[in-house]
Structure 1
């Protein structure tokens, strides 16, 4: 079987060759830095007008393939168990799938009975797949009907700050999502960088434009290279004299 390819080259001669079947008309998909679009749909908690519901809080909007499936069941339970941790970070949870609302409501009762928990966050209905396709949650080469496990972290100004994608049969880890929210909130508060494998309370990375302000605020800076300086945000600022 022969496969047709189309190719393109970069400015400096690098080339890419892809199957013709991958070629498609460019369309908008949410990217980091975009304002997440407003939309209205039904949920297990009633009608949701997304911007009105979300504005002023951090939001984790996550898709999953379908109700009454094993991986999705563990994810909903995991998010429900961790919901107090998200609330401590001023973060709301909201899920989306193509399962009909009445099916999701029956599934929700089963999850609560199975795990002995209450699911406090709304679960959105997208039975036609319109929202899932618009938001890039449907990946045809993974599954052309059900959404992948896509996660958007959205800030209180409704801006997309992080996008994560998992395949159908690999569940997300709530600890990593919480870690990312901690990192984004620290970054916003102190204008610092956050290194690989960073955990809340660990040292951060000083950026050139923020070093003086961090130093004046009493935070300890340690320089290892001209491009690498750590900052301890746990340093107690000096007391005012007098």
Structure 2
């Protein structure tokens, strides 16, 4: 059955570049981003892992752990890390799951059940559906899913923006408008009555329509936006 937003993230035990983990125990009380790759030693994924190595501190500021997955064994992952550092200048400090038996890819509906039980002999083309991002909350529920084709590198600042929105809207009865980013105004959700809104937002709101009430971002407005310029300047690719 396909996974959907709001489903419980499947738990698993697997080897990683940092030892064997139980996924739910590894998440603990934090948020988590699981992002997957179809194969080691592939060019787009190499740029992604290196770039995320430099962006990982932004996820840490948001109490979000980062973990990768590739359908290859640990030994291949560790050899790949040398290429990633040489090509991108990024040192990967987050774990990468060794999904050589395809178990996690199947649990997360990235590969069909009939894909077999070994990564041996499989190519990136066979595994092209293993290009997914899952944002998972401390409650172990899936908060967001992003799926990319093999030919398109991911934009991790969009993932950070989405994470900011998911964390904010999980804590407050608000929604974030188009192109919203950290610190900007938000929308009171329509299910909140004006009477409840007056208690939640005593400073009031701006009514644009009968169903759109705008307020300043509550709570974590002091969390800085990701320093895009600094990370871009350090990226040789």
**Bigger radius of gyration:** 1
Tell me, what secondary structure is at the counterpart of 1:42? strand
Query: Corresponding residue for 2:51?
Result: 78
Report what 1:202 is aligned to.
184
What's 2:162 paired with?
180
How far is 1:133 from its partner? 2.2
Among 146, 158, 166, the residue aligned to 1:164:
146
Runs of 4+ in 1 over 6 A off after TM superposition: none
Residue aligning to 2:231: none
Aligned CA-pair RMSD: 2.1
Q: Please give the TM-score of this superposition, normalised by the length of structure 1.
A: 0.79
**C-alpha displacement at 1:220, in angstroms?**
3.8
Query: Could you tell me whether the CA contact under 8 Å between 2:105 and 2:130 is conserved in 1?
Result: no
Partner of 1:18: none
Q: 2:205 aligns with which of 217, 221, 230?
A: 221
The corresponding residue for 1:45 is: 18
Contact residue 96 and residue 124 of structure 1 kept, 8 A = yes
Q: Is the 8 A contact 2:39 2:127 kept in 1?
A: no
- What corresponds to 2:217 in structure 1? 233
SS in structure 2 of the partner of residue 47 of structure 1:
strand
Alignment of 1:16-31 (within 5 A): 28-31=1-4
RCO comparison, higher one (Cα < 8 Å, 6+): 2
Aligned to 1:24: none
1:128 aligns to 2:101 (yes or no): yes
Gaps of 5+ in 1: 1-27, 236-242
Distance 1:219 1:72 in 2: 47
Q: Is the CA contact 2:54–2:90 (under 8 Å) kept in the aligned structure 1?
A: yes
| Cα displacement string for residues 13-52 of structure 1 (whole angstroms, at most 9, x for unaligned residues) | xxxxxxxxxxxxxxx2321111111100100000011010
Q: How many residues align?
A: 207
Q: Deviation per CA, 1:162-192, whole angstroms, max 9, x where unpaired?
A: 0110011111100000001100111122210
Structure 1 residues 173 and 227: alpha-carbon distance in aligned structure 2, compared to 1, 3 A threshold: same
Distance 1:172 1:210 in 2: 38
Q: How far off its partner does 1:230 sit?
A: 1.0
* Change in 2 beyond 3 A, CA 1:219/1:171: farther
The answer to whether the 8 A contact 1:149-1:168 is kept is: yes
Distance (whole Å) between structure 2 residues aligned to residue 76 and residue 31 of structure 1: 25
Q: TM-score, normalised by structure 2?
A: 0.81
Q: Gaps (5+ residues) in structure 2?
A: 116-123, 220-237
